[in-house]
Amino acid sequence: MRAKTTRIRRNDPEGLRASVLDAAAALFQSQGYHATGMREIMQATGVTSGALHHHFPTKDALALAVIRDRVAPAVRETWIDPVRTARSPAREILRVFAQTIRGVEARGSVNGCPLNNLAMELSFSKPEFREALQAVFAEWQAALVDRIGETRGGARLDRAKRAEAAAFVVATYSGAMNLAKTTQSASPLRMAANALSHWLRERGFAEAA
């Protein structure tokens, strides 16, 4: 289905750039980067070819901007900032799973995680894509490493072991999201959350140091 065209004021370059990023992020999420053409983004936003290429000279430049200006902030809002500020990191991790499950069930469909989707599609394309995606994952894992270190179980671990634990949490969520997308069901997320809950408690990551 073609995205609805939204006309952009010509004297609002920041608004134009934001609209293009929003449209591109939505199209990359719904149909993939390679299946989305620049003309389709122009049709979705109502911008001219000249205006689009002024802000994003190439499709690669647009994809990198989507990763840095849309995907990374979404991961910070969903995962990183809540985990950093929560009283209990384990409880917050499980809350993110529960929130995702509710969203899937409310929509009745699973588009997948934007970070996962682009990572699966672009990681082997070009080094700059891989580096930008890796930076988002690294920030996410670093927040988990810090908070795991503040738990009773995490305080007994060195940083390398805390990094392993953080990678396991990220991999559990990412893998469950991929399974949920494949099955179009929240069931993999629910099963992963249940298993992760036991894992967090067994290792003392649910208790403050």
Q: Is residue 12 part of a domain?
A: yes
What does the pLDDT read at residue 92? 96
Range of the domain at 7: 1-57
Q: Are residues 86 and 7 in the same domain?
A: no
Predicted pLDDT of residue 5: 47
Q: What residues in the chain have per-residue pLDDT under 70?
A: 1-11
Per DSSP, what are the bridge partners of residue 151? 208
> What pLDDT score was predicted for residue 209?
82
Residues 52 and 5 in one domain: yes
pTM for the whole structure = 0.90
**CA–CA separation, 75 and 67 (whole Å):** 10
Same-domain status, 13 and 42: yes
Q: Are residues 157 and 85 in the same domain?
A: yes
CATH number of 120's domain = 1.10.357.10
Instruction: Check whether residue 88 and residue 173 sit in a common domain.
Output: yes
116 and 18 within one domain: no
Within-domain flag for 174: yes
Region of 184 please: left (phi>0), alpha (psi -120 to 50) or beta. Answer: left
